[in-house]
Structure 1
Amino acid sequence: MSAGDKVLVVGPSWVGDMVMAQSLYRSLAVRRPGVEIHVLAPTWSLPIVGRMPEVARAIELDVGHGELGLAKRRALGLRLRGGRYNQAIVLPRSLKAALVPFLARIPVRTGLRGEWRFVLINDTRELDPDRLDSTVLRYVALGSAETNRRPRVLPPKLATDPDNQRALADRLGIASERPVVALLPGAEYGPAKRWPIENYGELAERLARAGAAVWVIGSVREKPLGERVRELAPDPNVHDLCGASTLVDAIDLLAAAAVAVSNDSGLMHVAAAVGAHVVAIYGSTSPDFTPPLTDAKTICYENLACSPCFERHCPLEHLNCLRGITVDVVFEAAMNALAAGVGGERGSGQSRVAVDG
C-alpha cells in the first residue's frame, strides 16, 4: 500500500465487540504495512480503543445506544471530509452506522449487506454464515479482499499499564501475595446472560478459602452485584471493586488476574485480551459465535435444546441454561487453571492514541 493508506473503521457499540474488532486492526496492520487506522467509537468504548497499539487515532461518536443522532453524525462526517481516507470499513450492519463515512465522502466504503444502505456502502460484501460463523470472523473478513476463504484471526491483545496497576492496588487496598481470581458477574445485555449472583457468592467464598484473592469487577451499575457477593462471601480476601474504577482501570486489574470467571460480557473479552485464563459462562448466547479469543479458556455451556436463543430475558422463564451450571463445575475449572498456572500472553506497554472528544 502507498504511504497515504488511511482507513476509517466505524467500530461497534458494545465493549466486547470493540475488543474483538482489534483482530481486524491487527490484520490490517499485517496485510497493509504502514496503514494508518482511525476508529470511530462510542464514548464508552474509547478507553478500550486507547489500549490498541494498531490504532493511530480514536474519534468519539457521541450518540447513545440505538440513537440516530443524525445532526451529530452529519457534523462529524463534514468534519472528517479533510481526513483524506481512502477506505472506510463499517462494522455494524445498521444504516445509521454508514452515514458518517458517506457524509465524509470516503471513496471506498466497505461493509456487509444490511438495512437498506445500498448507496451508503459501495463495497458491499455478502454474509456467508457458514464461512463467517462468528462475530470476529465477520469483522476480519471486511479487511480482506479474499471473499471465499475463512480468514485467519489474530486474537485481541490490549496494552496494559503496570504503573497504573500498582497505583490501583495501593488505592484499593488489594495488594496480596495470593493468586488473583477475578469475578465478572455483570452482563449489560440482560439477565439471560447472567449466572445467578448467589452462585458467584458461593464461588467467591470457596475460592477465598482455597487461597485465592477474589476481585469482583464491574461498572457502577453493577455495584449491587458486587455488594451481594460480599454479603454472601464476607471473607477479607474477597474485594468488591464494582464501580471503584474506570473501564481503563479494569483492563489493568484484569491483567493482574490469573483467572477470570465471567458471563459472556465485554469484560470477558477484556480479560481474554490481557492474558487471564477465562472461565466463560454462557446462557442465552453461544460460545461458537462470541467466544473469548484466547487458547487459555474453559467454556461452561449447557447446550440445551432451547439454546442459544440470544434473548435478553429467558423466553421460557426458567433460565435452565444458566442454573444448570453448578458452582462445583466452575470452582473446579478455576482451581484447575490456577494449579496449571495457565494464561494467555500478557499485554504490555502503553498504547498512545490520539482521542478526539
Structure 2
Amino acid sequence: MYKFVRPRTRALMFCIDLVGCILWGVWRLIQPWTWFADRSVPDSPKRILLIRADYIGDVLLITHTLPAIRARFPHAEITCLVSPGGAAFIETNPHVDRVLTYSPPWFFKKKRRDAIREYWNIFTTLRRLRFDLAADFRGDLRNIALFMVAPGIPRRVSFAASGGYYLLTTIVPFAHGLREAAYHTQVAQALGAQVPDDAVPEVYPTTADETAAQAFLDRHGLDTSAPCVVIHPGARKAVRLWPAERYAAVARALIERAGARIILIGAPAERPLIDAVNAHLDNQATIATGEINTLRELAVLFKACQLYIGVSSGPSHLAGAVGLDSVLLFGPETPAQWEPLGNRHTILQHRFPCCPCTQTDCPHLPHHCIDAITVDEVVTAALSFLDQPQQGRS
C-alpha cells in the first residue's frame, strides 16, 4: 500500500519498485551466503541508527519514542540522523548517544556539487560507524537506500509505503489516517520498544537556554501581569500563509479585549513578514526573532506564555510538546495526521473539495482554504483559552 496521494506518483513508484526488486533479486542471487541470514531485530545490537532527516516538527515528533527505545536497548549506542534544524531537539536528549546531521537535497535545495559532497561525507561516516540496526521513521525509499542499504547496515526497519519493501528486513505495517507521531510509535514498536499511550514529545533545554529566554522576557518586561500570546505568521509553503493584516487584527483584538502582550516569532528569513504584521499592529508587538536564537530557547519562552497562534509548522508541535494552549490555522493539511501532541488546541479549517492536497502553491490563490478562515473565528478561539486557566500538557 503506497501512501502517495497522486495516482501518477503511485504508478511511478510501482515501476521503480518493480525494477528495483528485480535488480535486488539478482544481487542476492550472486551472494548465496545472505540467503539464510537472520533478518529479525537483534536482541542486543551494539550500535543503532534512527533516521528522521527532514523538517523540525517531524524530528520533534520522534522524541516521545526515544525513552522506550533506550529502555529496550539499554546497552546499545544510539545515534540519530536528523536535519541540522531538528538537531536542537536531539542534542540534549539523554536517551541518545550521538547526533549526526544531514540536509537531504530532496527536502533542502542546494547545488549539485554540494549535495554530492555532503552525501559522501555522511555515507563514509555511516560506513565507519558500522551500525547493526537502523530504523527510518519516515518510510522513505531514498532514506532506506542511501542511509541503510548503501552503508551496509544489515538489519533495516521501516515502512514500505513509499517503496523499497525488498530492501527492508522488517516491514512496519502502514495504515492511512494516523497521527504522524503514531507512525513513529509503530516503528519503535517494531524494534520491540514499549511506547506508553500517553507519551508526548520531549524537549530538554540547557541552563544557557533558560537564561537566554528569561533575559528576553526581562528585557521586554514580559511577566505574569498580562497574558503573553505568541504568534508565528510564517509558513514553509505559500498554501499555509494567512494574511499579515489578519494576524495583526487578531493581535489587536486580544490586546483590547484581554490585555494581552503579543510576541512575534519566526526564522530570520521570515523577518519581513513579521515586520509587516507588527506594522499593521502599530508596532505594539515584541519581536523575538534575532533575540531568541535556538529552538530550545523558544521552548523555554513558550513555557512562560499562555497561548500560541500559528499554522501547521514546527513551532506548533513545539507548543504541543511544552503544553502551550494553541489556536492553529490549517489549510490543505489533514488535522488527524498533523495536529500537535501534548496540549489543548483548537484547529480552524475550512475544507475545500481539493483538500487534502500536497501543492506548494495553490492555483486558486488568493482565494483558497486557509484564506477562508476569518479574524473573528481566530479571536473567538483565542479568547476561549485566555478565559480559562492554563492546563499544561495533556
Pick aligned residue for 1:106 from 149, 153, 159 = 153
* SS in structure 2 at match of 1:183: strand
Taking a change above 3 Å as real, the CA distance of residues 309 and 63 of structure 1, as seen in their structure-2 partners, is closer
Contact 1:159 1:274 in 2 (8 A): no
Taking a change above 3 Å as real, the CA distance of residues 2 and 124 of structure 1, as seen in their structure-2 partners, is closer
* Counterpart residue number, 1:48: 89
* Counterpart residue number, 2:242: 195
Q: 1-side partners of 2:161 and 2:151: how far apart? A: 20
- After TM superposition, give the deviation of residue 158 of structure 1 in Å: 1.4
Bigger mean CA offset, 22-31 vs 332-341: 22-31
Structure with the largest fraction of helix? 2
Paired amino acid for 2:390: V
* Counterpart residue number, 1:128: 175
Say what the alpha-carbon RMSD is for the aligned residues. Answer: 2.9
Contact 2:52 2:137 in 1 (8 A): yes
Describe the superposition over 1:279-328 as per-residue Cα deviations: whole angstroms up to 9, x where unpaired: 11101112111111124111111233332223222233344422222212
Q: 1-side partners of 2:275 and 2:109: how far apart? A: 30
Bigger mean CA offset, 85-94 vs 176-185: 85-94
Paired amino acid for 2:53: P
- After TM superposition, give the deviation of residue 143 of structure 1 in Å: 1.4
Paired amino acid for 1:197: A
Describe the superposition over 1:104-123 as per-residue Cα deviations: whole angstroms up to 9, x where unpaired: 43221111115554564332
Question: Where do 5+ consecutive residues of structure 1 fail to align?
Answer: 347-357
* Counterpart residue number, 1:349: none
Of the two, which has the highest radius of gyration?
2
Taking a change above 3 Å as real, the CA distance of residues 331 and 48 of structure 1, as seen in their structure-2 partners, is same
- After TM superposition, give the deviation of residue 235 of structure 1 in Å: 5.5
Q: TM-score, normalised by structure 2?
A: 0.77
What is the percent sequence identity of the aligned residues? 24
- After TM superposition, give the deviation of residue 31 of structure 1 in Å: 4.6
* Counterpart residue number, 2:355: 307
Paired amino acid for 1:208: I
- After TM superposition, give the deviation of residue 220 of structure 1 in Å: 0.8
Paired amino acid for 1:218: G
Paired amino acid for 2:84: T
* Counterpart residue number, 2:124: 78
* Counterpart residue number, 1:156: 201
Q: 1-side partners of 2:44 and 2:179: how far apart? A: 33
Matched, 1:246 2:293: yes
Bigger mean CA offset, 198-207 vs 323-332: 323-332
* SS in structure 2 at match of 1:345: coil
Q: 1-side partners of 2:384 and 2:76: how far apart? A: 42
Matched, 1:259 2:307: yes
Bigger mean CA offset, 5-14 vs 288-297: 5-14
Q: Per chain length, whose mean CA-contact separation is higher, i.e. which structure has more relative contact order (CA < 8 Å, sep 6+)? A: 1
- After TM superposition, give the deviation of residue 262 of structure 1 in Å: 1.0
Bigger mean CA offset, 319-328 vs 259-268: 319-328
Describe the superposition over 1:150-183 as per-residue Cα deviations: whole angstroms up to 9, x where unpaired: 9946221212343232123245x35333221100
Taking a change above 3 Å as real, the CA distance of residues 95 and 309 of structure 1, as seen in their structure-2 partners, is closer
Taking a change above 3 Å as real, the CA distance of residues 66 and 116 of structure 1, as seen in their structure-2 partners, is farther
* Counterpart residue number, 1:324: 372
Q: Give the length in aligned residue pairs.
A: 340
Question: Where do 5+ consecutive residues of structure 2 fail to align?
Answer: 1-41
Paired amino acid for 2:135: I
Matched, 1:220 2:268: yes
Q: 1-side partners of 2:305 and 2:78: how far apart? A: 30
Matched, 1:341 2:392: no
Contact 2:214 2:301 in 1 (8 A): no
Bigger mean CA offset, 194-203 vs 115-124: 115-124
